[in-house]
Each structure stands twice: as structure tokens, then as C-alpha cells.
Structure 1
Amino acid sequence: MPSSAPLIDIGRIYAEPAALDLPRGREIVARWPDATIVPVESHWRIPELHGDEANVRRWVRIKREALVVGVKKTLTVRPNGRSADFIAPSTANGCAMACAYCYVPRRKGYSNPITVFANIDRIAGSIVKHLRTQGPKPEPNQCDPLDWVYDLGENSDCSADALLSDNVHDLVDLFTSVDGAKASFATKYVNRELLKWDPKGRTRVRFSLMPAAMAKLTDIRTTPVPERIAAIDDFVAAGYEVHVNFSPVIVEPGWQDAWRELFRQLDAGIGPAAKAQLACEVILLTHNAALHEVNLGWHPTAEEVLWRPDLQEPKRSENGAINVRYRTHEKRGYVQELLALIAEELPYCRVRYAF
């Protein structure tokens, strides 16, 4: 489902009045002076966006044309232990891209445009306050050998968020000014404006990769995989730590050969500096019945590979939701197959975790 339309072309902004009272909220709105401003009481309750089944047919268009500006109410830093030691409060929620397997829309009903939070000062302050209570990291772990790692983009893609506001830039700068911590975010969008920043090695960018044919089917509106690989050396040279996510791994006939080819493309596409610091995460597909129903309304072809009752079983996630994942025994075998391929094709790439 390729599209020649711009990733973001905002024509309608749903804004909480409290957000427009803040400098960042006013800056965001000023970027689209011709957009219609629609006041809303809550960024979570917008009837014409959320909960309206008719919006499924406009899934991608809403992502491109609608923006929500709100105030982040919950500023809790949560423990993680996989991608990062901690999950920082989100500066945004939702995404301009439209990956068919994305979990964020499960909470938003039938529409998932980006919500940007205007109270960036309080978000940044909550991170600094939390870090001060931690003290130095007592011992190495799989997140990082030296620093506490804070994930910035649990519910969004920070590279795309940077098209909308200076929130991500502010946090990248923040982590250059504190000791003992670094930022981290995963992305499927190459935003070369980030190369103009000065992260000083204190931000880890994790480029998500999968075989190109599968990405074309399921990673809608994202940067093509070869372009993501081609950007890695540039981001390393700009002062970022760059890792990769092999995610999600989607099982279909011939999937092993497709991943081997991807690993060879990655090996050929990056230089010694990137290889010397490369690490990866391996994440197999998790899906959800509600998202399956939404996808049938706008991209049913993707569901042919994502919704596989013959291979999947229900699984309660850490947040209590009921999802479907590959059956435990088979999944263990899939993981081992992929780890063996990584060891063969990318022997210098440390696997931080796989599940």
C-alpha cells in the first residue's frame, strides 16, 4: 500500500485548551497556520476520531491529516528491563505510520493519529527527578553496561514525532547534560534532521528491520528497509549509538531465507564503526483480536500473515491484555533458528534479548 502523499499534512488540530496555554502547544499549532483548531476536553475522548467504526476506512488519511495536542497527565517513570531500564513518560502517543501489527491502536478504537504532549518541561523534569533517585548503575545488564537507559518512545516513533515539535530534540539535549543515563528509542522512519543534532553518544537509536517484502506488506508508510540500513552509518557518525531491532519476526513459508538475506544486506550496508558498536533485539510477532478486526477494515491482506490461528495461542501480556503469540514450543524453536542465523551472518552483533 505505498503512497505518494506526504507523511504528515495537518489540516485539523484537536487541542486541549490547557495545551494551548503552554509555549510548546502554541509552537505546535503555529506550524500549521491554515489548520482548523478544534477544542476538546480530553485528548482521549474525541468522538469523531475514537470509537467510530467508519474511521477504519480512513485509517491512513486520519494519520496524515489529523493531529491532537494535549497535556500528559501521568508522569510516572516505569521499570522495563528489556529495551531499556526504564520507560520515560511519553512525549507523544500514536503514529503517522501505519504498521499493521502496532499495539498502540488497541487502546484508541478506530483511529490512531499522533497526540503530542505540550508539557515537555514537566516530562523532562520527571525524568531528571527519577534519575537523581537512582544513583550510579550498580552493575552491567543487558540494557547497558554503564548507564541507566530510558526509553523515550514507547507509544510513538520519535523520528516522526520530531516532524511535529521540538519535544524529542529537547530530550536528546537533556541526556547530554546528565550523568549516568542515556536515552533510547526505536524507529522505522529515517528523519535526517536528527543528524543535525548533537547527541554526544547519549542517545541510542534502534532501527527496526525486517525482510523488505514483509515490510512492504505490513510496515505501511514507513521508510523502506534499505534506506533504514543506509542511514545507520550516518547516525553513528553524527554521534548516536545505533542498535537494530529484528522485529517483528513473522513466520511464513521461507521466513528463514528471507531473514538470512536481510542479515547479509545489513552486513554489506554498514561500515566498521557501526559494526563495532552494534547490538540487536529479536522480537517475535504478538497480535490481538481487536486489532485483527480493525485491520480487516483497511488492510485485510496483511492479516493473512499476521492472524495465524494454526500457529498462535492466547497469551496474557504484562498489562493484562489478551493477545495471541506463536505457540510456546514452536516459538522457542523459531527464536533459536533466528539466533543461529545471526551468529552465522552477523557474528559481531550482540543479541541483547530475544523473545
Structure 2
Amino acid sequence: MALAIGSPPLPATLLDIGRIYLEPAAALHPRGAEVLARFPHAERIEVPSHWNIPGLHGEEGDAERWLATKRGTLVLGIKKGLGMRPNGRSADFIAPSTSNGCAMACAYCYVARRKGHGNPITLFVNTDAVATAIARHAARQGPKPGPNQVDPRDWVYDIGENGDLSVDAALYGGVRDLVEAFRAMPNAKGSFATKYVNRALLGYEPQGRTRIRFSLMPEAPSRVLDVRASPVAERIAAIDDFVRAGYEVHVNFSPVVVYEGWTADWSALLERLDASLSPAARAQIAAEVIFLTHGAALHETNLRWHPRAEDLLWQPALQEEKLSESGAVNLRYRHGKKGRMLAVFRDLVARHLPCCRIRYAF
């Protein structure tokens, strides 16, 4: 079956770039020049640093301004830090991010907990340097000594920790640079999660060296929480095409949000997924299960622009404060309750999607 590799333009409701903030060096890089040529009529504003742009990051303005900023603003920068961070959960290592921020505005987003919902996409144009750093790091690791929960054979590098690379790929060729780089690494593969279906990625020829993880949740909460993301049905329908195109395709059941009727909704989603997967997809499918992490500050932010989301996310009777690895105070489901809910979720997957192993859950 021939694959359709063309991708329609991003809908203007998602991205319609009219203003570009850029570090001067970014304009001199070929990938930066590519972006600027794509948006020749966009206003250009030089800034000394992509990280600190007054009035752009944080909680300034109202909801309409946040979403308009995400839709119409882009930031171009140079990635300075090229170190790898050990992980051991979703990946063996977290690679330097080639983007920060997102065109979407999911109500539970951890980036929003740090930089505000108005944080637009920042593209780091020196993806060649990032790819070179990953290749050198992987070469130093040598062969993986044995299987672990991340992968049985390869070192896995998460290349999309702070953005959605499917959307980034519609803006420039930096994502293709990374996919192509992993083809040449005999002991490593890339990995990123996405909530956006960009069918142009089907033409990248990953040759099994890139893992794409489609994030899924039941449709009812997704319609409230996955703001501006591709519909869940579209993400499910894309799985087989991405498998045929040479990607390793996993799923993220994330975040798992607990509400009245949540187990019935997840049962229906898992059954739908089980019925839709081809034999090739079933042979490689694996899942990450991530229960909701929330926070009081994000709760207050959401009340300003999307209070319906908090009907699902804010459940004080079920949640407790917990200090994150970064030192932030977050809200997670209470320890004893969460253990029981995890056991329930594992049982749902075993019953309704038995072909899917759970790589890790928390």
C-alpha cells in the first residue's frame, strides 16, 4: 500500500505566524534562514536571548492573548547546552531539546507550570549540533549491556522533552535532521511523544531508529483538556501508517485523569485501540502510563481561561502535595489511592489491550 507522504499546511487556527523573535545568530544558520524565508512578511524582532523576552513568557495578559500568542508568534534561538541527562523511565537519556513551548495549550501541561500558557514555540535552529552531540554520546556508550524497561537493545534518547516535534516538523527541517541522524547510529534511537498528526513525517524514512509515542486519553476528557491537539481518533488512525513508514510506534496513556466513570471511558478507548491495530503494530506496541500531575498555581491559571478543565483536574480529596525532582511543589494523587488506581489501570490494559506491554507506569 502506497503511503501518502504529503502534508497539508498547518491550519491557520493552529499557527499563523506574524511575529518572530530571534537571536541574531539564529538568522545566520541555514535552518533559521529556512524559517524566515517561509514567513517573509512576519515582523522580526531581535532579542539577546530566547529565554527572557519581556511580556512574552509568564502569565501576562488574558486567555485570548495567550492563545493568540501561541498562534501568531515564533521564537528562533541557538541551543547552547548540549549535554545529555540520564533518565531511565521513558528514555535512557534526555537529549538537548530542539524546541521549547508548543502551539497547543493542553490544560495539564507541565511546561505551562513553568513558563505560562502563553509560551509559544521556540525553535532551536542548530539541530545539526544537537544531532552531532547525540551521536558522539551514543558512540561513547558503546553497545547497550542488556535490556531494560526503555528498550531491549538500543540506547534511547528523548528528543522532544519540551515541545511537540510533529508540529515543529511543519515549520522547519530540523526534525528530519534528527530522524536522519539516528539512522546512522547502530546502538541508539530517538523518541518523542506527540498529540499532533503530521503525515509529512511518513516520508522521513526512519528505518526503525525513531520511536514516536502517540499520547492518548478517552475522547470525553480529551475534548476538554487537549486544547488545540489532533482528535484522539485521528491519532489512533495514524498508528498503522507510521508503523508501515518505518517508525517504532508506542503509546502514552497520559495523563490518566481520575473522575466519575474514568474506568469505563478507558475500557472503551482500549477496546477501540485493540480493534484498530494491524498485526505489525500489535507486535511492537508498548505503553507508558502517566497519572496526572497538577499544581495549585496551574489551577489558578486555568481558572482564568479554562475553568471547565479544572472540573476534571482539581480533585483535592484525591490529591496531595509532592516535591518534584526539580524542587517544584506539585499535586499528585494520594500515595495509597494512586497505587490502587495504578493496579486498576494495569488490569484494564491486560483485559482490553492484551497485546500491549506497559514499559513503565507512575
Instruction: Sort the TM-score into its range (normalised by shorter chain).
Output: over 0.9
Aligned to 1:138: 145
Q: Deviation digits for residues 168-211 of structure 1, max 9, x if unmatched?
A: 11000000011101111100000000011100011111001000
Q: Quick one: distance in 2 between partners of 1:208 and 1:220?
A: 13
- Is the CA contact (8 Å cut-off) linking 1:53 and 1:110 kept in structure 2? no
Q: Which moved more, 1:283-292 or 1:105-114?
A: 105-114
Deviation at 1:53, TM superposition (A): 2.2
Unaligned runs of 5+ in 2: 1-10
Q: Quick one: distance in 2 between partners of 1:317 and 1:85?
A: 19
Aligned to 1:69: 76
Q: Deviation digits for residues 131-173 of structure 1, max 9, x if unmatched?
A: 1211110010010000000001000011011011111110000
Aligned to 2:309: 302
Is 1:26 aligned to residue 33 of structure 2? yes
Q: Deviation digits for residues 52-96 of structure 1, max 9, x if unmatched?
A: 521544222111110000111211110111111001100000001
Aligned to 1:340: 347
- SS in structure 2 at match of 1:34: coil
Number of residue pairs matched by the alignment: 352
- Is the CA contact (8 Å cut-off) linking 2:82 and 2:130 kept in structure 1? yes
Is 1:240 aligned to residue 247 of structure 2? yes
Aligned to 1:288: 295
- SS in structure 2 at match of 1:220: coil
Is 1:221 aligned to residue 228 of structure 2? yes
- SS in structure 2 at match of 1:112: coil
Is 1:264 aligned to residue 258 of structure 2? no
Deviation at 1:5, TM superposition (A): 4.5
Aligned to 1:330: 337
Q: Deviation digits for residues 264-301 of structure 1, max 9, x if unmatched?
A: 11011111111111111110000122222221221111
Which residues of 2 match residues 26-105 of structure 1 at below 5 A? 26-51=33-58, 53-105=60-112
Q: Quick one: distance in 1 between partners of 2:53 and 2:338?
A: 39
Is 1:189 aligned to residue 196 of structure 2? yes
- SS in structure 2 at match of 1:98: coil
- Is the CA contact (8 Å cut-off) linking 1:87 and 1:154 kept in structure 2? yes
- Is the CA contact (8 Å cut-off) linking 1:204 and 1:241 kept in structure 2? yes
Normalised by the length of structure 2, the TM-score is: 0.95
- SS in structure 1 at match of 2:343: helix
Q: Which of 263, 273, 282 pairs up with 1:275? A: 282
- SS in structure 2 at match of 1:99: coil
- Is the CA contact (8 Å cut-off) linking 1:56 and 1:294 kept in structure 2? no
- Code of the aligned partner of 1:205: I
Q: Quick one: distance in 2 between partners of 1:15 and 1:203?
A: 29
- Code of the aligned partner of 1:338: F
Q: Quick one: distance in 1 between partners of 2:101 and 2:217?
A: 21
Q: Which of 115, 118, 141 pairs up with 1:111? A: 118
The 4+ residue runs of structure 1 with deviation greater than 2 A are: none
- Is the CA contact (8 Å cut-off) linking 2:58 and 2:119 kept in structure 1? no
Q: Quick one: distance in 2 between partners of 1:198 and 1:226?
A: 24
Q: Sequence identity of aligned pairs in percent?
A: 62
- SS in structure 1 at match of 2:331: strand
- Is the CA contact (8 Å cut-off) linking 2:62 and 2:304 kept in structure 1? no
- Is the CA contact (8 Å cut-off) linking 1:57 and 1:297 kept in structure 2? no
- SS in structure 2 at match of 1:213: helix
Q: Quick one: distance in 2 between partners of 1:16 and 1:79?
A: 29
Aligned to 1:121: 128
Unaligned runs of 5+ in 1: none
Relative to 1, partners in 2 of residues 1:73 and 1:56: Cα closer, same or farther, differing over 3 Å?
A: farther
